[in-house]
Chain A
């Protein structure tokens, strides 16, 4: 599943259309979904972002291969062109620093981002937004750091009053291909993959239930050893489990010896 989060309806609109997302009324937020993507509009500012994303991630807890992207517009110094898309490698919020891991090649300009409390009308050293630090804090509880990305599109040079709803929609719409590519890149980076299929996991857990915690840990290690050494070989379990504790222990010992031979 891909989690998208925007602050504004205008930022979400092109994404909803592009990915054909449908409104979902499960949460007290503007929430849109299809089979692969869920998008939440949090509202502006850190508190809204923290509450909105925490609600979303608590409602649908991410799985190990899921990713999250925050997409939005931002103000930036004049050396950044209006309409330029930025990938954020450092978020600065007062004394705090946050670092998404960028482990994939991409064609975007990277930069640091200041996360501020209100729209900025004076020059700042870096581009600014109002949600990223809160999103990072909530997201990094659920995702590995390389599964979180922040894409900001420059809307103004610290003249927030010049930004219109239509302008924001167009800025996001003009970068949909780039967002597609970035989402694909993020999905290719896997952390530790699961060694067993869901069906295998179920069978392992049922089998382990016949043994003590320590014996179960030993079996788990032996199964992991076997799978890593023989990735294509199927796992075979004996279905008849003896009633006697001694015989069960012997069965387990034999199985571990076979798996680790």
Chain B
């Protein structure tokens, strides 16, 4: 057979799968304009593509496709035991996107979904309607929970829409968690006292090894500085911490780097948490055979896989000892397993 050079990487979202019922939705039309060279494939329901048996998550990760769909049923789900509701009376996460542009080896999405493709539910207005009955009480919504919405903000504009909605509802608090450095995507949004931009930070060596396709630490720190200067409330999350043989060097150095670049008084909180995953998601992660993170001998208790207690305690002690050199303990939140 003729030997040809290996082809270069395919374009991101080279294929748009579009549910017939959302073809005329304004957001669909905008995305089609933006991706005018992509192949358009009309479908009846996103599950025809997203839920196909025998997809390869690993192979799809470097050639993600975009599926535009109409969300039927609940947009909002109650927060899980693996995450922090920050003391709000009600804590929901919004599921307006399935799948993430980033490709982190430790991410539970790999165990959650059968596909590495991204599903964008364009009817976000229905999420707002579903939330209205709860807005008489203090409510936190994590808008970037099963994805990184900021990573595709310039495509979707969903974070901007959430911020505009929150501006009208004084009991609504937003947490927008991200690894993105693309703050320009929020250039039209006004900072809101009740909206927190929460950046996940890792040592550059961990980013290189496990957080594929994500911005570098330096770019994230630059974006954080810019956000603070613009008046955004910011939370920093060293979570999940990946325990490696270089842990004692990498993570204390990370904390020094962070607070060498950012005034500790300018952030709301620092969150620390070691890697944890439900046992079922971990099983799925193992099947992909992509990363050593999946195969560490975790301790499993109540269906949750965590580092053994001794290591988990060591991680927290090490990070707390370093972090408290810069920021009072009262502004540090730690994830700890519920006993």
Binding site for B on A (CB under 8 A): 19, 36-37, 89-90, 97, 99, 101-106, 110, 112, 140-141, 143-146, 177, 180-181, 183-185, 188-193, 195, 218, 221-222, 224-226, 228-229, 256, 260-261
Contacts and interface: CB of A to CB of B under 8 A. Distances in A.
B59 A90 contact: no
Contact of B41 (A112, A144, A145, A183): A112
A184 B4 contact: yes
B7 A105 contact: yes
21 contacts: A36-B1, A89-B41, A90-B43, A99-B41, A101-B59, A103-B60, A105-B8, A105-B9, A105-B14, A106-B7, A140-B54, A145-B56, A146-B60, A188-B6, A189-B63, A193-B289, A195-B289, A221-B286, A225-B296, A228-B290, A260-B297
Interface string B49-67: 1001111101110110000
A105 B63 CA distance: 9
B286 A145 contact: no
The 6 closest A-B pairs by CB, nearest first: A191-B56, A225-B295, A103-B63, A228-B292, A180-B2, A229-B292
B184 interface: no
B60 to A, nearest CB: 6
B7 A221 contact: no
B295 A222 contact: yes
Contact of A97 (B2, B3, B44): B44
Contacts of A261: 245
B30 interface: no
B4 A180 contact: yes
A99 B52 CA distance: 8
Contacts of B288: 192
A144 B55 CA distance: 6
Contact residues of B: prevailing secondary structure: loop
B125 to A, nearest CB: 28
B48 interface: yes
A143 B269 CA distance: 48
A218 B298 CA distance: 11
A55 B139 CA distance: 59
Contacts of B25: none
B54 A190 contact: no
A177 B4 CA distance: 10
Given A103-B62, A221-B295, 8 more contacts: A99-B17, A103-B10, A104-B63, A105-B11, A144-B55, A185-B6, A224-B295, A256-B297
B12 to A, nearest CB: 12
A188 B7 contact: yes
Contacts of B15: 89, 102
A191 B3 contact: no
B280 interface: no
B219 interface: no
B299 to A, nearest CB: 13
Contacts of B10: 103-105
A195 B248 CA distance: 29
Contact of A99 (B7, B49, B62): B49
Contact of B6 (A99, A141, A180, A184): A184
Interface centre among B59, B286, B287, B288 (most CB of A within 10 A): B59
Contacts of B11: 105
Contacts of B48: 97, 99
A228 B1 contact: no
Contacts of A224: 286, 289, 292, 294-295
B289 A110 contact: no
A221 B56 contact: no
A260 B59 contact: no
Contacts of A180: 1-2, 4
A103 B7 contact: no
B297 A222 contact: yes
A39 to B, nearest CB: 13
Contacts of B88: none
A101 B55 contact: yes
Contacts of B161: none
Nearest to A146: B59
